[in-house]
Every structure is written in structure tokens, then in C-alpha cells.
Amino acid sequence: MTRLVRLPTAGQTLAFGTRLGARLVAGDVLCLTGPLGAGKTTLTRGIGAALGVADVASPTFVIARRHPGSPALLHVDAYRVGSELEFDDLGLETDDCVTVIEWGGDFAEMLSDSWLELRLERADDEVRTLTLVGRGPDWPAARLDAIVGDR
């Protein structure tokens, strides 16, 4: 259940995030991976736009920030979270919101039996390649196809 999307510009990453965000529901968990500057926050900003959240920023100084929206957006930056114990201590509630975790690769499974992995890679220059991997019962191939096809 892997799908690839090519994102040639920051504007297209933002737009893809908005189309993805329009198909998300409360309880969804998304895990964003990719090197510094890959576009994780840009993608999250697009998702936020679809939920009515205008002020998504890098949550560098607060690990988790909850933005009111429909549904709410819980934006987590796990870059400095060193262990599962530390992540657990954040006490994140994910049932009534969309949760996006930057650098969340090691922690998504602590929150849900299902999550969407979004791996951003720099191709050349501005171009990014996004790999979507659905994990668990909430993310069947048909759901990925609806998101990737809807462009």
C-alpha cells in the first residue's frame, strides 16, 4: 500500500496537503518523515488550511500544539523527543482531532493501530518526492488512491 507523488514546488506541496486534509477525519494519525527542510511543515500547513487552521508553524519550542479547527489539528514535532517514555509523557489525545507528527516515525504506533506514513525526500533542486504508506485498518489502498487520484 505505497503510493508516490511528485511535488515540484512548495506551492504544490501546500496544495497537496490541502487536498489530503480535506479527506481526513478525527482520529487520523499522520507521521511525517524526511530530512531538515524537506517540506514537512509546508505539507502540514496545507492540511491545516483544509481544516480551517491558518496559523500552523514549526512547533519547535513547544513539542505539541493543538489548533482549533474542524476537526482540530494536533501538530507535534518529535525531533527532540528521545524515548517512548518521553513521548508517552506528552499524554497526547488523538481521538477528536487530526494528528500530524513531524519526525514521528518511532512513535506513531503508540497512538493508534492505524496511521499514514508520509515520507518526503528531496529529489533535485525544489522537487520533492512524497511516498505515502498506509498502516493498519484505517488506511486501505482505496483510501490512498482516493487521495492520490484526487489531483
Ligand X SMILES: Nc1ncnc2c1ncn2[C@@H]1O[C@H](COP(=O)(O)OP(=O)(O)OP(=O)(O)O)[C@@H](O)[C@H]1O
The residue assigned the cell 508553524 is: 57
Cβ of 149: how many Cβ atoms within 10 Å? 8
Q: Which is nearer to Mg ion, 114 or 131 (CB)?
A: 131
Q: Which is nearer to ligand X, 7 or 29 (CB)?
A: 7
Question: Exposed (0-12), middle (13-18) or buried (19+): which is 80, by Cβ within 10 Å?
Answer: exposed
CB of 145 vs Mg ion, minimal distance in Å: 27
> Which of 13, 33, 41, 42 is close enough to bind Mg ion by CB under 5 A?
41
Site size with Mg ion, rule: CB under 5 A: 3
Name the grid cell of 58. 514549526
Q: Which residues bind ligand X (CB under 6 A)?
A: 7-10, 13, 34, 36-42, 58, 102, 126, 128
